Amino acid sequence: MHRTLVIILLLGTGCLPAQISIAFHNGDTTVNAMTTRPEGTVVETGSDAWNNPARNGTNALGLSFSNFPLLDNAGNASGAVLSANSGYTTFNQNDWAAGTQDHVMMEGWYGIRNTESITVSNLPASFGDGYSVIIYGDSNATGRTMNYTVSDGTASVTKTIRDNGRFSGTFTEGANFATFQGFAGLRLTITGNPGSGDSRSAVNGLVILPGTLPNPPEITSFAADDHYVSPGTSVTLDWQVDGAETVTI
């Protein structure tokens, strides 16, 4: 009697990197699983800890501040510190209370232009092997072009977000976030639109993670030399996968 061969491949990506995540949502709000920690310093999003340098609330940092200590996404002290020289901050009124954790993160923002900047210093030594940056930006404006330049002392990369209205719950590259790669310096600086008369570039969220930006694991090819097998016989399998460290059959 022959039996049909059914095979399921499970791909494993290993441990998530100890990234640093920052939500500039300005307040001590609590919604869904996104909850501020003591002094409004950390926001919980699922299993990841997001630092929350709130403008309002118990720590009341204001538009400009220095050396705000940052935790990694596991909630451990990273040693990195955040400084800001911003000229404006506000809320987006995106109905966050009825929305998701992402709506909370996209609700508030710090604006930078001309000589204003956001700086993260003293990144962990492991980041010296290379890291990537994701900037989330939504000013709630229609038709605002927001430039961002990320520099680490050696590399400098500029990307643009074209803001066309209120965050709807969907993230789109170039519309409400931009990705940057190729950094290794342990101090990074973010600047916004270049001129003092320009509209400010909004920074709602910032993620810094070691390595290159991860791609979802994918099975690129799979083959078996027989689709029907008898008890006690063997079959040869061949496969190729991307973005995975382990394969379980």
**57-85 confidence digits (pLDDT tens):** 444 577 889 999 999 988 899 999 999 99
| Helix, strand counts (H, E) of the chain | 1, 23
Q: Does residue 108 or residue 48 have the better pLDDT?
A: 108
Mean pLDDT across 2-13: 52
Mean pLDDT across 174-199: 96
* Spatial separation of the C-alpha atoms in residues 154 and 142, rounded to whole Å: 34
- Token pair 């501020």: residue: 36
* Spatial separation of the C-alpha atoms in residues 201 and 88, rounded to whole Å: 10
* Spatial separation of the C-alpha atoms in residues 127 and 114, rounded to whole Å: 28
* 136 closest CA partner among 234, 24, 214: 24
Query: How does DSSP assign 180-209, residue by residue?
Result: EEEE--S-EEEE-BSSTTSPPEEE-EEEEE
Question: Please, what's the b/e burial string for 104-118 (b: 16 or more CB within 10 A of its CB; e: otherwise)?
Answer: bbbbbbbbbbeebbb
Q: In what order do the strands lie in the sheet with 88-91?
A: 88-91, 108-112, 201-203
- Token pair 């290159």: residue: 212
- CA 231, chain centre distance (Å): 50
pLDDT of residue 37: 45
Q: Does residue 75 or residue 29 have the better pLDDT?
A: 75
9-18, 32-41, 69-78, 188-197, range with greatest mean pLDDT: 188-197
Mean pLDDT of the chain: 80
Confidence of residue 131 (pLDDT cuts 50, 70, 90): very high
- Tell me the backbone φ, ψ of residue 46, rounded to 5 degrees: 65, -120
pLDDT of residue 149: 98
Q: Does residue 33 or residue 173 have the better pLDDT?
A: 173
Please say whether the beta carbons of 50 and 237 come within 8 A: no
* Spatial separation of the C-alpha atoms in residues 159 and 106, rounded to whole Å: 19
Judged against a pLDDT cut of 90, whether residue 4 lies above it is answered with: no
Confidence of residue 108 (pLDDT cuts 50, 70, 90): confident
Please say whether the beta carbons of 150 and 190 come within 8 A: yes
Give the list of residues 6+ apart from residue 15 with CB closer than 8 angstroms, or none. Answer: none
* Spatial separation of the C-alpha atoms in residues 8 and 168, rounded to whole Å: 36
* Spatial separation of the C-alpha atoms in residues 123 and 127, rounded to whole Å: 7
Judged against a pLDDT cut of 70, whether residue 93 lies above it is answered with: yes
